[in-house]
Structure 1
Amino acid sequence: MRALLFPVSAFCLFLSAVVPSVYAADNWYRPPVSVTWQWQLDGVVNEGYDVDLYDIDLFDSSVELIQRLQASGKKVICYFSAGSYEDWRPDAVDFATKDLGKTLSGWDNERWLEIRSSDVREVMTRRLDLAVSKGCDGVEPDNLDSYRTNTGFSFRANDQLDYNRFLAAEAHSRGLAIGLKNDPDQARALSSDFDFAITEQCFEYSECRSYSSFIKAGKPVLNTEYRRIYVDDESERNSVCKQSKRLQFSTLVLPKALDDTFRFSCLP
């Protein structure tokens, strides 16, 4: 993703000035099953899609962009990584070296975080405050399944559950919706804590059934597929869309870069 050139001192002053001291309670956005959506994390956001919600980057998106989307009747979900350190973020200096683990495979400028650390959790609460100050309707914290990989730390599944529930509770206390990202083995246990799920390639990896508890609870599953065959072969795309509709998922076929170079939706 693109680096954000934004001085840390200015970022902190901005945040302290605009974050309200009292948050809304129990009235956050709750998207419905089969909600329509657009997901773009790179490039100039294409605002022209007729969908219910947009999922865009928390740091790279301006207040003006968020307000324009909302003025056109869309809800806005703001993305940030909750399980990894990204060296280009304006608050990267807030992470302690001891809390930085191994480099993520395929992402040389990201490192796994020690999710049990109180310092890491404080950074995440400030990011949630930033989401409030920018007017986001909800958040998509990424990398919520790091217990399944070699992070350089020795935390386990229960530590991940505790961290994910911490994020959900903090988001809700601020009046923000929150989505569970790519944590299929814990989806059932966490479906009561989160308002929706976001999954990548659940059809490709045969993980879609893991999220059935969300649908049963009246909460949507937002899925994205990246296989090139779904782009090039209309019959293959129609096949995966047929499966998606049967499960009541909100499936998109997108470029892995999430840069809006193409988009196919399984919903109108």
Structure 2
Amino acid sequence: MSHRPPARSPRAAVPPLLVVLLVLLGLTVGPLLAAAPGGASGASTGAPTAGERTVEEPSAPPALPAATDVDYQLGGVDEVPDHVGIVVRDRTEEPAGVYDVCYVNGFQTQPDARRFWRERWSLVLRDDRGRPVVDSAWGEWLLDLRTASKRERVARIVGRWIDGCARDGFEAVELDNLDSFLRSDGLLRRGQNLALASLLVERGHAAGLAVAQKNLAGYDGTRIGFDLAVAEECGRYDECDAYTEVFGDQVVVVEYRDRDFEATCAGFGDALPVVRRDRPLRPAYDPRWC
């Protein structure tokens, strides 16, 4: 009884002459076989092989914790009471070890940073006489966001600060003065500010941070990726609803007057963390909570 020759495996399918040529060239048939559909076995397991990189989905930015209070410590670091689970501090300070929000002035200059911005004078918004346009309430120069090139340069500078917040252990970043166009004497447009905001939100998410919209009530910041909001005096100006309609309970509120604080607590204290602070935000001040 004769035996039938065994069926050829895919590995034997390479023509003998080609094998000889490959050997003469110092090559092997392995790459040819690996390139065949299903590899040498003709089947694919779908599992990554050695040397392959798997792409992981980015994790969602951390949300605000529920049922806790907030403190706004921009004027200096203070102790954190046990009932406070959210603290906002300047990017130059250490996080408190709770849900920490890193304050970054994204659209204006800090009053003590004028030397830094004088060295980048073309990024400071100036009037027709060459004078810086100033936010008179805080003594801050506005940044010039009128061209894509300037916005990209500002985004690189502020982006490095955002990355620093992430390295220091903050969970979120607050981008202050999104509404600087309202104080620009008509030199800036809303869309220019939002274009920079989009760049900064992307940078924050790339660093693993949640990103907070600061003020500009009525704007749906989720359209460009904002995750939460920091609302100053939304009770005073009857704007808290404008934030909750967009961000739900992902809103923290800071009030600076007793009557506004009390009204905000009455309307939103059960749903949102609200703190009554002094406007200079001094560490010696005793905050109040709802």
TM-score, normalised with respect to structure 2 = 0.68
Counterpart secondary structure, 1:185: coil
Give 1:192 deviation, angstroms. Answer: 6.5
CA distance 1:50–1:91, shift in 2 (3 Å): farther
Counterpart secondary structure, 1:85: coil
**Which residue of 204, 212, 231 corresponds with 1:199?**
231
Specify the structure having the higher radius of gyration (Cα). 2
- Residue in 2 that maps onto 1:156: 189
CA RMSD after TM alignment: 2.7
The alignment status of 1:213 with 2:249, answered yes or no, reads: no
Q: Do the aligned residues in 2 keep the contact of 1:86 with 1:92 (CA within 8 Å)?
A: no
**Which residue of 262, 265, 270 corresponds with 1:241?**
265
Q: Do the aligned residues in 1 keep the contact of 2:65 with 2:99 (CA within 8 Å)?
A: no
Letter in 1 for 2:58: A
| Aligned-partner Cα distance in 1 for 2:104–2:121 | 20
| Aligned-partner Cα distance in 2 for 1:36–1:214 | 21
After superposition, the C-alpha distances for 1:90-116 in whole angstroms (9 at most, x for unaligned) are 9925862121121111233x2000235
Q: Which piece of structure 1 moves more, 197-206 or 46-55? A: 46-55
Q: Do the aligned residues in 2 keep the contact of 1:145 with 1:160 (CA within 8 Å)?
A: yes
Give aligned pairs, total.
223
**Which residue of 130, 138, 145 corresponds with 1:107?**
138
Letter in 1 for 2:276: V
Letter in 2 for 1:146: S
The alignment status of 1:133 with 2:167, answered yes or no, reads: yes
Q: Do the aligned residues in 2 keep the contact of 1:197 with 1:214 (CA within 8 Å)?
A: no
- Residue in 1 that maps onto 2:120: 96
CA distance 1:199–1:49, shift in 2 (3 Å): same
- Residue in 2 that maps onto 1:38: 71
Misfit runs of 4+, over 4 Å: 32-35
Q: Which has the higher contact order (CA 8 A, sep 6+)?
A: 1
Letter in 2 for 1:176: L
Letter in 2 for 1:36: D
- Residue in 2 that maps onto 1:257: 280
| Aligned-partner Cα distance in 2 for 1:172–1:94 | 30
In structure 1, the gaps of 5 or more residues are 1-23, 231-235
Q: Do the aligned residues in 2 keep the contact of 1:138 with 1:177 (CA within 8 Å)?
A: yes
Give 1:166 deviation, angstroms. Answer: 1.6
Give 1:194 deviation, angstroms. Answer: 1.3
Q: Do the aligned residues in 2 keep the contact of 1:139 with 1:178 (CA within 8 Å)?
A: yes
| Aligned-partner Cα distance in 2 for 1:130–1:91 | 21
The structure whose residues are more often strand, as a share, is 1
**Which residue of 19, 23, 28 corresponds with 2:61?**
28
Counterpart secondary structure, 1:204: coil
| Aligned-partner Cα distance in 2 for 1:190–1:91 | 35
Letter in 2 for 1:140: E
The alignment status of 1:80 with 2:104, answered yes or no, reads: yes
* Identity %, equivalent residues: 22
In structure 2, the gaps of 5 or more residues are 1-56, 126-132
- Residue in 2 that maps onto 1:16: none
Q: Which piece of structure 1 moves more, 118-127 or 44-53? A: 44-53
After superposition, the C-alpha distances for 1:156-191 in whole angstroms (9 at most, x for unaligned) are 2222222222211110011011110011132x2536
**Which residue of 127, 131, 155 corresponds with 1:121?**
155
Give 1:36 deviation, angstroms. Answer: 2.4
| Aligned-partner Cα distance in 1 for 2:184–2:113 | 23
- Residue in 1 that maps onto 2:41: none
TM-score, normalised with respect to structure 1 = 0.74
| Aligned-partner Cα distance in 1 for 2:223–2:282 | 29
Q: Do the aligned residues in 2 keep the contact of 1:25 with 1:174 (CA within 8 Å)?
A: no
- Residue in 2 that maps onto 1:226: 256
Give 1:87 deviation, angstroms. Answer: 4.8
